[in-house]
Chain A
């Protein structure tokens, strides 16, 4: 399999951050998440996106990708419980993506900051589990 360039890796992460931001914005509009938690998570994802955009500017970014709202998100916005499940899946995908990116990215100076976002996304999972009354840590 061909090795992915740093730009490819960062663009994928930026697209993922875009999905997270859209999800929390929609959940806040539809009152499908506690306001304080939703704003915190949305703001964190915006900071992550800003950081990745900065890194992309240095790495030689190509054209921005278009994104479309997912039908799963629309369905998940019906209740806070269904949104929490959707958001937990998305955050788990984010953690897995950042694990892979932080290890594989060729520029060693980006590994630690990407790991820092990875740890934050892992904390988001804990926050969402707490919000729905689940055990904070999964065995």
Chain B
């Protein structure tokens, strides 16, 4: 029997495609300024993902209403604050932060969001990828202050992931280890 994709899996696949599109060769590199191994390139990848998340929440807002919409707007505001923080960190390293794409460009990579459940499933996949991105950065960033910033933003993303799950009627935490384990 041919394997079939659930709607949720399809949305997750779309989120994965979004991440690849957002962080891959289509975006300009952060800069030629920072020294190799400074962490600027990695921060640039995280910033590209944050830009995509801001655009994604705007798209989700088209199909969300009421309290769920208010909460996802709060999440989007936090993502904008992460953008500002990452831009500052990259500049401090002597780099030029990558700018985001146009909303039209992002929209082409997003799944079709027909109802609130689609938007929240998309948002959950996006948040999972953001959490994973920051946790992976913890292992790779060379400087304590940069790792501290990544951990702080990662904790925000963990809370956002949980909030999206609660808004979707799911338990806040999927398990004891959000990604990976000791």
Check if B182 is an interface residue, CB within 8 A of chain A. yes
Chief secondary structure at chain A's binding surface: helix
- Give the interface size bracket for A toward B: 35 or more
The answer to whether B139 and A126 touch across the interface, beta carbons within 8 angstroms, is: no
Decide: B158 and A51 in contact? CB cutoff 8 A: no
Task: Please tell me if A122 contacts chain B, counting CB pairs below 8 Å.
Answer: yes
Interface segment out of the listed B56-64, B69-77, B103-111: B69-77
Determine if B161 and A119 form an interchain contact, defined as CB atoms under 8 angstroms apart.
Answer: yes
Contact for A137 among B147, B154, B163, B180, CB less than 8 A: B163
- For this complex, into which size category does the number of interface residues on chain B fall? 35 or more
Chain A 102-114 against B: per-residue CB contact (8 Å), 1 yes, 0 no? Answer: 1110001111111
**1/0 per position for B160-182, CB-CB distance to A under 8 A?**
11110111000111011111111
Task: Kindly list chain B residues whose C-beta atoms are within 8 Å of the C-beta of A138.
Answer: 159
Using a Cβ cutoff of 8 Å, how many contacts connect chains A and B? 139
Measured between beta carbons, the chain B residues less than 8 angstroms from A126 are 159, 162-163, 166, 172
Q: Which of B75, B156, B180 makes the CB contact (< 8 A) with A113?
A: B180
* CB pair A123 B182 closer than 8 Å: no
Contact B138 A127 (CB under 8 A): no
Partner pick for A127 among B75, B135, B172, CB 8 A cutoff: B172
Whether the pair A137, B71 counts as a contact (CB closer than 8 A) is yes
Contact of B135 among A100, A116, A121, A136 (CB under 8 A): A116
Q: Give the docked Cα–Cα distance between A136 and B180 (Å).
A: 24
Is B150 in the interface zone, CB < 8 Å from A? yes
10 extra interface residue pairs, beta carbon distance < 8 Å, beyond A104-B147, A119-B161:
A102-B154, A104-B148, A111-B139, A116-B180, A119-B179, A121-B158, A126-B166, A127-B171, A130-B166, A137-B74
Top 4 closest A-B pairs, CB basis? A119-B158, A51-B182, A123-B162, A47-B176
